[in-house]
Amino acid sequence: MRRTTLVIAAGFACAIAAALHGQEAATRATVPPSPPPDPGVKALVDRLDLERYKATITGLTQFGDRRQGTSRNRAAIDWIDAQLKSYGCTNTERIKYEYTRRQVNAPPAQGRGRGAGRGNPRNGPGGSVIFGPRGRTGVNMDPNAQPDEAIRQTDMEPDEPGPREEVFCTKVGSTHPEEMYIVGAHMDGHGYNQAANDDGSGTALVMELARVFNGADVTTERSIRFVLWNNEETGLNGAIAYVNQRKDLQGKESPAGSGKYPEPKWLGMIQHDMMLWDHGMPGADGKVSREQRPEADVNIEFQMSSKMTEASQKLAWAFKQANERYATDYPAAVGPHMTNTDSEPFVDLIASISLRENERGSQIGGGWDPNWHQPTDVLATYSDKDYRLGLNAAQTTLAAVATLTGATLTR
């Protein structure tokens, strides 16, 4: 009886193996490999530079954590505005809104994303399950926890409620100015640090893309808007204000007959939030390695419970392919739990994705980044391997957006 069982099991295993072999062959036949890089897109990607990217992050950190509602936040917005203009993105504008809540001592926003928790204590923000050892997470609100006196003094002014601003500029499309992709990151931070990673790394990425796309010899068929959100850390208030103020203006020519579209139709929203640190899971002691892991990757996330899941997933895979074709060092992984960042207000309106260093819900929520909202989120924490991970995210987004908008070099 035992031998018969073994024979049947062996036959069953062979049948499964044969079926899988046939399935694998069919998959190979129906899913073509990524095409070779387009020379024009590659030439644009090659204009990104590690040292320039690092320098832009460094420029942002002169304003400390850039906490909303402070003079350092306002000074950083003015600096970003001036930098964008120096890149040739001269049509800068500002969204203005009012923020009334003061949240200096607010706890970390765990679970403001859709589906957060889902009734399972193991779930992180956005509903993704956290496996394995976990590190501590939270927001440092103690200035004395910052050992660097200069950083501590820069960050000392508390936030106050009142008027807020955030800056954006637009690369106007040559043949379809009435349509655009939105490329964003949030410029505010907190935690008595320099907000170098959260989200200086994303802000610098968007600014570097604005520099490349606004080169005098670059033309795009469709428009691209580069937005540096404010008030992300208090609940995505800047992105929400943008959506509320401008969603009904999409695709409307103003003045009539001018060929100008103050708010082109949204084709997709691409957010960048924390790009530098992928050092792996905490150990049993809750600590994370100081070294970037060899298998680090860029995480591209969409939200599988949104009204635009199909379009968002399609956009995510387009970015995955752009990474395969143009990124130089690190691969990309696609995940379904985008949450807790400025793409959220767009998620039921248009295709929306975010690029990150880790999965937001399961990995960052599980303590994989011990610098998140902590005094250690400073320039000195990160190595060139970390910065290069952010640069690879920039290469990924630049290549994908260049392809989607029909970017070309005119000389």
Q: pLDDT digit string (tens) for 136-152?
A: 889 999 999 999 999 99
Q: Is the pLDDT of residue 102 over 70?
A: no
Radius of gyration of the chain (CA): 22
**Count of alpha carbons within 13 Å of 14, Cβ hemisphere only?**
6
- pLDDT at res. 8: 36
What is d(CA 122, CA 385) in angstroms, rounded to the nearest whole number? 31
- Residue range 373-378: mean pLDDT, rounded: 98
Question: If DSSP codes are grouped into helix, strand and coil, which group holds residue 164?
Answer: strand
pLDDT of residue 136: 85
Q: What domains are defined for the chain?
A: 50-99+112-409 (3.40.630.10)
Type and span of the H or E element at 404: helix 384-405
Structure tokens at 404: 């989607």
Instruction: Single out the residue of 298, 274, 296, 272 nearest to residue 209, CA to CA.
Output: 272
d(CA 368, CA 400): 28
Q: Residue 227 pLDDT > 60, yes or no? A: yes
Task: Encode pLDDT of 47-58 as tens digits.
Answer: 999 999 999 999
Q: Is the preceding peptide bond at 49 cis, omega within 30 degrees of 0? A: no
- Is residue 3 over pLDDT 80? no
Q: Which residues contact 407 (CB under 8 A, 6 or more apart)?
A: 40, 41, 44, 213, 218, 219, 220, 221, 401
Q: Which of 31-40, 270-279, 339-348 has the lowest mean pLDDT?
A: 31-40
**For 304-331, what is the mean pLDDT?**
98
pLDDT classification of 134: cutoffs 50, 70, 90: confident
When pLDDT is cut at 50, 70 and 90, the band that residue 34 belongs to is confident
Write down the pLDDT at residue 58. Answer: 98
Mean pLDDT of the 331-354 span: 97
What is the tens place of the pLDDT at every residue in 241-273?
A: 999 999 999 999 999 999 999 999 999 999 999
Which band of pLDDT confidence, cut at 50, 70 and 90, is reported for residue 125?
Answer: low
Over residues 187-209, the pLDDT tens digits come to 999 999 999 999 999 999 999 99
pLDDT score recorded for residue 104? 42
- Report the chain's mean pLDDT, rounded to a whole number: 89
Maximal C-alpha separation, the chain: 85
The pLDDT of residue 32: 66
Q: Does the predicted TM-score (pTM) go above 0.75? A: yes
Q: Band the pLDDT of 4: cuts 50, 70, 90.
A: very low
Distance CA 311, CA 133 (A): 34
At 178, the pLDDT band (50, 70, 90 cuts) reads: very high
- Determine the average pLDDT of the residues in 154-176: 97
- Whether 23 has a pLDDT exceeding 60, the answer reads no
- The band of 129, judged by pLDDT with boundaries at 50, 70 and 90, is confident
Q: Per-residue confidence at 128, pLDDT binned at 50, 70, 90? A: low
Mean pLDDT of all residues in 315-333:
98
Mean pLDDT along residues 367-391:
98
pLDDT at position 168 over 80: yes
Question: What residue type is assigned to position 366 of the chain?
Answer: G
Give the pLDDT score at 30: 59
Q: What is the mean pLDDT of the segment spanning 59-80?
A: 98
Question: Which segments within 318-372 are labelled E, that is strand?
Answer: 332-335, 352-356
Alpha-carbon gap, residue 235 to 260, rounded angstroms: 32
Residue 28 pLDDT greater than 70, yes or no = no
Asked if residue 77 lies in contact with residue 187, where contact means CB atoms within 8 angstroms, the answer is yes
pLDDT above 50 for 27? no
Cα separation of 294 and 369, whole Å?
Answer: 16
Cα–Cα distance, 65 to 376 (Å, whole number): 11
Least confident of 25-34, 143-152, 351-360: 25-34
Q: What is the mean pLDDT of residues 280-284?
A: 94
Q: What is the mean pLDDT of residues 118-123?
A: 37
> 1 pLDDT exceeds 60?
no
User: Is pLDDT at 126 greater than 90 in this prediction?
Assistant: no
| pLDDT computed for residue 16 by the predictor | 38
Q: What percent of the chain has pLDDT over 70?
A: 86
Q: Using a pLDDT cut of 90, give the percent of the chain over it.
A: 81
